[in-house]
């Protein structure tokens, strides 16, 4: 019984040292798993095979090392997949932001072109006001009715000339 407790204490000591060494040296999870699994498997194999502890330790160490490597490799693959997913999400967000900025710039240039074409176009007939007499000059009420001109009325993907809003919400 004294040998078993001494052997377990030795395995715990080496696994602690191996894990702290692996954290400082940036060892992969598969290597950490192989080291810890090999030590644990060797201890378990030596405990299980009482007739020949060396052979039991060797077989247990090989089996534990292989199992620890497989578990560590799985952890490494999950970490890589998560890092790739995060990088892809960041790239997609950057592409969406660039497309949005491009759309805003195009909307502004189209609005400026429309404003220039409206300014160059001949004047439309004045609006009639029900408050003025027929045939009279257009009333100032019709001109200052506080409505913004929207030359792209009905085009849902056109922005207003003075705003960064891309779509109407209604």
Domain assignment present for residue 1? The answer is: no
pLDDT score of 53: 84
Q: Which residue from 67, 7, 17 is spatially nearest to 38, judged by alpha carbons? A: 67
As a whole number of angstroms, the distance between CA 12 and CA 33 comes to 14
pTM comes to 0.46
Domain assignment present for residue 41? The answer is: yes
pLDDT score of 127: 52
- Whether 152 shows a pLDDT value over 80: the answer reads no
Domain assignment present for residue 104? The answer is: yes
Domain assignment present for residue 46? The answer is: yes
pLDDT score of 66: 92
As a whole number of angstroms, the distance between CA 33 and CA 18 comes to 10
Domain assignment present for residue 92? The answer is: yes
Which tens digit of pLDDT belongs to each residue from 139-149? Answer: 554 455 555 55
pLDDT score of 25: 65
Percent of the chain with pLDDT over 90: 21
Domain hosting 47: range is 29-118
Domain assignment present for residue 107? The answer is: yes
The total of structural domains in the chain comes to: 1
Which tens digit of pLDDT belongs to each residue from 77-114? Answer: 999 999 999 999 999 999 999 988 888 888 888 888 88
DSSP label at 125? P
């Amino acid at each position: 019984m004294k040998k078993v407790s001494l052997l377990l204490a030795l395995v715990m000591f080496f696994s602690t040292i191996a894990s702290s060494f692996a954290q400082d040296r940036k060892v992969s999870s598969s290597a950490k798993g192989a080291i810890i699994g090999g030590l644990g498997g060797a201890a378990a194999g030596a405990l299980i095979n009482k007739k020949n502890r060396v052979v039991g330790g060797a077989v247990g160490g090989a089996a534990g090392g292989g199992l620890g490597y497989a578990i560590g490799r799985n952890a490494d693959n999950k970490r890589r997949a998560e890092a790739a997913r995060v990088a892809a999400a960041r790239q997609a967000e950057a592409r969406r932001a660039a497309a949005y900025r491009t759309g805003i710039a195009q909307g502004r240039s189209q609005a400026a072109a429309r404003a220039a074409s409206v300014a160059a176009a001949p004047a439309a007939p004045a609006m009639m006001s029900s408050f003025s007499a027929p045939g009279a000059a257009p009333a100032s009420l019709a001109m200052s009715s506080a409505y913004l001109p929207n030359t792209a009325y009905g085009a849902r993907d056109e922005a207003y000339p003075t705003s960064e809003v891309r779509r109407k919400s209604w």
